Structures are given as structure tokens and as C-alpha cells.
Structure 1
């Protein structure tokens, strides 16, 4: 078979990697580089070169499928860097934060930890999120319906409980109660309260786009076309014609959409009989996010002793983060969400934008309906939005599901499924 794949993010590249060798693949990517939401930039500093990620930056060797894919692509434990998962929360304009969580196993004596009621609220979020995961709540149940905060003041709900999910998904703080508890829970679940020592997260040395480039290098029987957005899809007898915005066409037997739902819906407008699919895809709500990498401490607390790896600023009903690369990478390089902020970084080195799906009950219903449509008429859909928890692990899992439908068991399928 000749299979067309639209999108070279984690899901699209994993699908191509799994199918290459057993099928002919045509892979179209709108951007000039592969990786999707994994967008790495190289920044020179006095301490050397740092490669921050403007999108996905945290990974985990606790993700079994992602870890197996990384190993299969030739990356190993030495390619992962442990980074402390500390947080600072503050109101815009306030000199003193209302939360500075523990930073490392051996706390920097120059750093001030601020706990109190905000710390208790943070731990309450972790415990509630764990309960939502353990009970496997239906995706129709919202945070407001599932949550149990009987003694938590409203201010702490906005400043901690709702501010953290808002910073992850890019929505307004007041929108968080209407999100699906199951979709929010996966990002914050922690079975035990936080201790005085912050658990580390992990970065990929050289940036998360490193995995995308490694997968590209291992593709066989695959045509890769960059700066090639799928503009329209038409039926041609039993086959499809994929047309790029440039006008170039590709004839294929099946199509895998590894693009966001809204981009897939746009490409399907030209395909007769696709109205039901487009209605499903249009049910996913997206939030526009803008990120900037910079060298000045924009978005950071005024005093260095309050700096954390993740610094959340609450302002005007929004909650936006600045990630400091110092703790793991040894240099003052920062990546900030700047979608709703008035002031901008003073020493910006790169900027990009994303559209990220919100985990709403409507998205859950759409995801369930989309699963029922997989493979109908030769059309398939992969990506984190096809799973309850939007993560790199979910993207790999979605690719694996579709590859199983399209190919017989082979060495690469076994590499991801056999422990």
C-alpha cells in the first residue's frame, strides 16, 4: 500500500517509522522542520550552548512507549537530563510570591522556600487529581463536579488549584472548573502529598526535537516533504489524491491525519461524504498559545532567591509560565508564555505559536465518536488529542494503534510492545 501521512509531529513520525519498510509512505509536514509541538532552538550563552524547547520540554522515562521509541531511535539514558520540578506562584506586580516550592534534594541555602496555605492547596490538587485518575472518571465529569475542596478559600482555588491547569492548557483561570476532570487529572496526579524534596522531571539533552530528527533518519520507503501543508483531499476511484498548497499532488491508498483536529477538518472540506467527520473534528476546542525564548529574566520573581524551574504569574484572569533552564542546564535561559501579557521579553531570541486542544467534555465526546470512525473509507487519525491525556506518550500510543491496523506485526511494532 501507499499511505499518506499529514503531519510530522511525534504521532505522525512514529506512524511513519512503524509503517516504513512494509508500505510506501508519503509524509507531508507544513513546517520547515519535523517535530510538531517539539520545537527546539539553540542559544549561545557564556556557559555554552543551551537548547531550550518552545513547546514540549518535559519528558519521562516512566512513559513506557515513549521510552521504547527513544531507545529504538538510538537515544539512551545519557540523552536525558534530570531537572528539579520546583514551582513559584506569584501575582503580577507583587514583589513577594505566595508560593515557592522546594527546589532540589539539597536546598540552595540562598533560596527562600515559601509554603503555607498555598502549599496545602497545591497538595490538595495533587491528591484530588490522583483520585480522579484512580476512579477513572468519565470524561463528561467536570473539575467543578468532581472536586472536593470543602475548606479551601476561593482565592486559593483561583491562585493555585485553577491557576496551574490554566497555565498548562492556556485557558482562562475561570474556565478550569468546566474542563474534564479526567483530562486535567493526568497532569497533576500524585498519590502522596509532596515532601520537602521536589521530584525531578526530565529534559532531552539537545532538545526534544532530537527524537524527531532521529526518527526521520530511520525512515525507509518514505518520501518526506517539508513546507508541504495538505490543502485538500479528494477521492480518485478507490484511492485518494492529496494536494499540497503548492499544487503538488500525491496518489495514495489510505490517509493518516497526524495534524490537529482543526487542520484535518479543513483538509477534508473537499472530500465528499466527510461532513460527519468534520463535525466531530470541529468539536475540539483549541487555545492559541505564544511562547518566546529569551535571555533576560522576564516573567521571573524580582529576587533570585524566589526563582524556580517553573514560575507562574497570575494576572488579569490568566496564568502564564516562565521556565528557567538554569537548574538543569547551568545557564540563565528562559522560555515564557506571552500570549496575554502586556510587557514582552527584552532579549528575545526566538518565538513561536501553538494551538493546543482543551480537555473539555465536548472533546471527550468527540474523541469517543472519532474512535468509532477510525479506518472508515481509508481515513485514520493519530495525535495526543485522540487520547484522554494529551502527552507524548499518548501521541505514541495513538500511532501504535493505527499502525497495528495497517501493518502486520513486524520488528518495529515488537520494539514498542515487547518489554
Structure 2
């Protein structure tokens, strides 16, 4: 079913708000002020709201441009009777307009969920390209019937074969993985170090796939590429060719990141965020520091350097594999204590802290962790977030405990998508 709508404001999640006979419709691939024809993707008389994709622009808004990736272009997909690939939902918008819209969305989340009137600008990453392409050093593909790489349409099981990935780094596209037969594999994840070096192709096999099949695939991939198999349920990582990890380098510090271990996706994100964290927290020699949700130690290493051997740095990470990476990356820093486990459990016995940094997953930290941080009485808290909604909610918890944001920076580390990253410095009022 298709209807005509006038698009209003942007909304969190890559949508734009429109109304049809009093009902809210969340529209993708639009711009505020446009008159569009949409195809309803989720609707019903009892539904509180509907969802829709733009299939035709009747009156375009300033800032609209031709999408850079035909598989993700909603208009071209609709003309073929197809769905667009998800993951580049802002690709039809000029980059400067994207950042202005993201700033509006962030401010709205802060106002509605955090109870504060802040209006941060959205900054590009360090050394960002003028077109906002080629930034992804990590990409995940599904495998379509026939063994070719594909990606999902938004909120759909439909797989769309792909022949390129314009958001991915050249080191990933140059592998030409779409020419490989991945039959027997459910998903393919690729990591290419931002500073160069050996990329890693991770194969997530389908149930019942014989190891010989994985060996065939590994042998068909180019020389100089590492290949491993990954079982997400058992967390078992099996080396097939090369090594099971990639090496990243940030501000002179080397990091080993194994298999599906977490690392910032944008090629410049680690440096952008590390510089912001060091400048904002101003860690002093001898400080007691906690790095919560610490991953492979991206922030732990420079924080330990600032605290010095007289300091104490607590690194907490829930993932066993990523925590093992942190131990290898931080073995030369005796002042670092690495704990693998839940943040709330480790904080119970953390004692007095001078500085706390947290970089939680998309769901945020939650009320319990915020209360524990407050009880540790640090002089400053740094909060790195990849989701404005969960950050705004947690900021509300901090503000209830007497903390206020001293600075808030928002970074466009995911150009052509609705995602963004932020870093806030909080101090007790």
C-alpha cells in the first residue's frame, strides 16, 4: 500500500516523522519538508504508529542528492520492485545536512530523556574524506543462496547480493570477496587494520558445515589474508590460514584484536576518541582510574600512561576473548589491573576512584552502574557513547546524583548512517 505524506522532523533511528490522518508514520530515506510517496512496510489499524519507505519524491528538500550506492538507494530499488540494502540510510543527504540533522536528533534525545537543554554540534572524524566514504575497517556480510555475499534490507530477512561496499576501506573492497563461493557459511566478517597490515576474514559456518568446506574457502582467498572460523555460541575460534587477529596502532601504541573482538569501526575513530578522552579527563600521575567496558584496551593504555607507575588503573571488560586481548596489549603496564566480568560486580569492590571512564554498549550503563560510579566519588567522569538515547537516559541518572556535563562532543564516526558517537565530561556540581 502506498500513500503520500509531508515529512516533518528527523527522529532517532534513521527515521523521519510524518502523519497520516493523525497517525505517526516513521519514514526512511526522506528529508524534512519533502512531499513524498511511500510504501508502508509496517501498518495496521491497531498499531500506534506505522513505518514506511520513500518510493518517490514529489517535492524534494534542499540537501537531497543522488545516493552514492545503487543497492542502498530506496528510489532506484523501488523502481525495480526491490528493497534497498540497509546500513546507508542517510546516503541521499548532503554530508553537512546529515550532521545538522544528527545534531537536532541528539539535542532532542537530551531534552526528552536527559532533561537538559544542550545543543552540541556534530564534528567529523579526524582526517575524514570529503565524500564520507571508505571509512569502515570492519564489515559484516550475510551469504545468499548460491554462496555469494549479500546484505539485509532494513528490518527484513530479504538478502540483497552486493558487488561492492562503498563505505568499506579499500583494503576490504580490494579483496573482491563477492567473487568467492561461500556456500556452507552463514556470515562473513572482515577486519582490515586502519594502518595497514594483514586483514582477517572470519567465517561463521552454517550448522553441519564440514571443516573441509571451510578449508576450501580459506584456500580460495588471496595470499596475505588471514582466515579463521568463529562459533558465536561456543566462542570457539579456529585458525584456517594466517593468524586469528589483526594489529591496530593508535598514537604509537599497538593493539592486538582477536576474531570478533570489539574495535571502533571508523578508520580514524580510535585516534579521534583517544585524543578527546585524554584532553577531557586530564589524568594525573598517581590517580586511581577505572576504564569500564574497556574492550581490548584502546583507552586503558593511554590512561595508564598518564597515571604512571604510581597510579592504579582498573580495566573491566565482559567479553572473555576481548579481555584476553587486553591482557596481551597491557602486559607492560604493571599499574593496570584487568578484570573480566560484569561492571557492576567489579565496581562493588573498586574503592575510591579519582577518574572513571565508561564506554558501554548500545544499551548504556544503567542506573545501578551510575550509582556505583557516584559512590566511588571520582573528581571527573568521562562517558563515551554510541547511542544518544541510552546516553541521555544515563545522563539523567547522573544529573539526579548531582553530576552535570562540563563538555559534550559529538562525532560523526558513521557517515551516511544515522549513527553517531559522543564523549561527555561530567563533574559533580
Higher helix share: 1
TM over 0.5: no
Structure with the larger RCO, 1 or 2 (CA within 8 Å, 6+ apart) = 1
- Structure 1 or 2, whichever has the larger Rg, is 2
Q: TM-score range by the shorter chain?
A: under 0.3
**Greater share of strand:** 2
